[in-house]
Structure 1
Amino acid sequence: MATAIATAGDTCSTRTNNQLQSKTPRPKRICFSFAAYGKTLIEHLKSSNIAVEEGLSDSEISDIESSLNFCFPPDLRSILQLGMPVSEGFPNWRSSSAQQLQLLLNLPVFSLLRRVSKNNFWHSSWGTRPRVRGRALDYARRFLKDVPALVPIYRHCYIPSSPNLAGNPVFYVDHEGDVRLLSNDVSGFFGEAAFLTENWEWVEPVWAAKRARRVEFWSEAAETLGEWWRSGATGEVGDCLEDACCRLREGGWRDEEILEMMKGGDEEWEKGGAPQDREAVAVHVRLWSQRLLRAGWSREDVVYTLGASSSWG
């Protein structure tokens, strides 16, 4: 089971008789562990109407790993052994067939191969791209079979199985082969998850990753295969757009709908550009708001979805 990895205050020290008898309030002491964090997270998942089944046993974990040829990273494993979310979007590691789970594991690579077939992607480490599409796919498939497996957490969100350490980053990989870094680790991912209720006041564990660990292939892919606006919008503007689109996607909008919403009749965007200043972003935020309201969203939902962009107008 997961072991304690950080302690604020010496909770394990022996209290003296004088301390026990003292009426002076003692400072609150907090001990963070994977298990303590996992229990809190599971309770918040349940309170957010996420169906959670009994956690996976050691034998179930071993069977899954051996049959699908991958290893759960320790932090995700700890959470799944305390409780397994099974609502829509979450992989059901207990009830899904081996074929279904294998498909989920293969989806990120399949998505990249689809991007290769559209002549939109070729990694520099693979050498010169063959001119024949079929041969290019064969080359790409050969290289991609050795990259670290991505373990599904929720919908298009994955965590690498290798290195088999706690603190691996979480990546977003969609069906079009877009790869993006979502969070530094699994705690950061759940800390910002849109499916948790607003009363989820996430306190960063002391063991949370302060920066994203480099993961073979996927880290570089996230840097070079960013969302479509990365080629134009940079810095604060790019970060703003990226966060807003992530929230729209989590709210159920498809990528093509978000793209259309972002372009929406603006001549500069139609020419392939992107907003480069705060005023231009503010215009698009107002446009998004109007379209979301017309689509039936409440003002509260719109404020939450585009809340990260509220400072832009």
Structure 2
Amino acid sequence: MAKNISQSNVKKHMVCFSYAAYAKILINHLKSTDIPIERGLSDAELASIEATFSFTFPPDLRYILQEGLPVGPGFPNWRASSAQQLNVILNLPALGLFKQVSEGSLWCLSWGPRPGRGGVNAGLEKVKDLLRKAPVLVPVYRNCYIPCEPNLAGNPVFYIDSESARVLSFDVTGFFREFGMAHAPAWAPKEARMVEFWSDVAARGDTCGWWSGKLGGGCLDEVCWRLREGGWKEEEVREMMMMDGCGGEMESGNQVIGWRREEDMGWRVGLLSLVLLRGGWTREDVVYSLGLHDQNEVVDENVTYLECQLCN
């Protein structure tokens, strides 16, 4: 038994040493790139910050901040910034989500049924309630944040602003490679850890990469996501949306139909509504998903693809 305890202690010490060694290398590298670095945060300073803002620094970020405190543009200055300034930075992810939800460009299946038209306030209240239970995102640099929970090394770094949310790197070591760190340590994760609430948000922000752009009050990405939420498989979504893998083209039978002018949104709406109707959607669902004003704007499902192509 004593032998097992000894081995366990050695392994734990080796892991901690790896993070401490990496933190030293990283801070020295940042100094070499002329990023201002102040002395690292003391245990007392870290404890004070955590008590003030009700979160705990994840271990890998803690090692870095103890080794040295980056204070260049974009880095949070945990020592000199006021509590008010730091609160603003900490609240930016939530404000970004609120904007996306209020504009109708973001809703996750795990949040429950999406509020219908006119339900913006209900949607925002739901997200606020979920955020109260979600792990706090600790700022690393500009719009890049790392969740404080689980309180383990290796949490992913998220990028969140008022337009999008995504996983930026699998952990802080991957993030700092953007600052010229050539190699990730051997213990760096090979995939992003799942984090309550935020992983769903990031996954929602990564949908439908082959189409982009807003369409009326909604967006083409939203149509793809709604199909997935309805239980359609990825290949079925591609088939229903008739995408050939090339941005801006659709195919009908053996004929590839190129989009008309970028500003010719009416034709896109007509064709998309036809596709969704034939995919089993109700006219009401199509109106809501495409951001239309009423059901009269939806193309009759008996219209042929060619007639839809020639409309407008």
Residue of structure 2 equivalent to 1:183? 169
Conserved 8 A contact 2:110-2:200: no
Give the Å deviation of 1:269.
8.8
1:204 to 184, 199, 203: 184
Q: Which runs of 5+ in 1 are unaligned?
A: 7-31, 234-261, 274-313
Alignment correspondent of 2:110: 125
SS at structure 2 position matched to 1:94: coil
Distance 1:183 1:201, change over 3 A: closer
Aligned residue for 2:88? 103
Structure number with bigger Rg: 2
Counterpart secondary structure, 1:208: coil
Shift in alpha-carbon separation, 1:159–1:201, aligned structure 2, 3 A = closer
Q: Which runs of 4+ in 1 moved over 6 A?
A: 266-269
Question: Which residue of structure 1 aligns with residue 14 of structure 2?
Answer: 4
Do the aligned partners of 2:26 and 2:181 also contact (CA within 8 Å) in 1? no
**What RMSD in Å do the two structures reach over aligned CA positions?**
2.7
Cα distance in structure 2, aligned partners of 1:47 and 1:268: 51
CA contact (8 A) 1:148 1:160 kept: yes
- CA shift, 1:85, in A, is 0.2
CA distance in 2, matches of 1:127, 1:220: 12
Contact 1:39-1:82 within 8 A present in 2 as well = yes
Name the TM-score, length of structure 2 as normaliser. 0.61
CA distance in 1, matches of 2:23, 2:199: 26
Q: Does 1:148 align with 2:135?
A: yes
1:245 matched residue in structure 2 = none
Q: In the TM superposition, what are the counterparts of 1:81-100 in structure 2 within 5 Å?
A: 81-100=66-85
The two structures have a TM-score, normalised by structure 1, of 0.61
Aligned mates of 1:99, 1:106 — CA distance in 2 = 11
* Counterpart for residue 230 of structure 1: 209
Alpha-carbon shift at residue 201 of structure 1 (Å) = 5.2
Q: Give yes or no for contact 1:3–1:34 (8 Å, CA) kept in 2.
A: no
Relative to structure 1, the CA distance from residue 151 to residue 43 in structure 2 (aligned partners, 3 Å threshold; closer, same or farther) is same
- Note if contact 1:3-1:35 (Cα within 8 Å) is conserved in structure 2: no
Matched, 1:53 2:38: yes
Tell me which residue corresponds to 2:53: 68
Q: Out of 216, 222, 227, which is 2:196 matched to?
A: 216
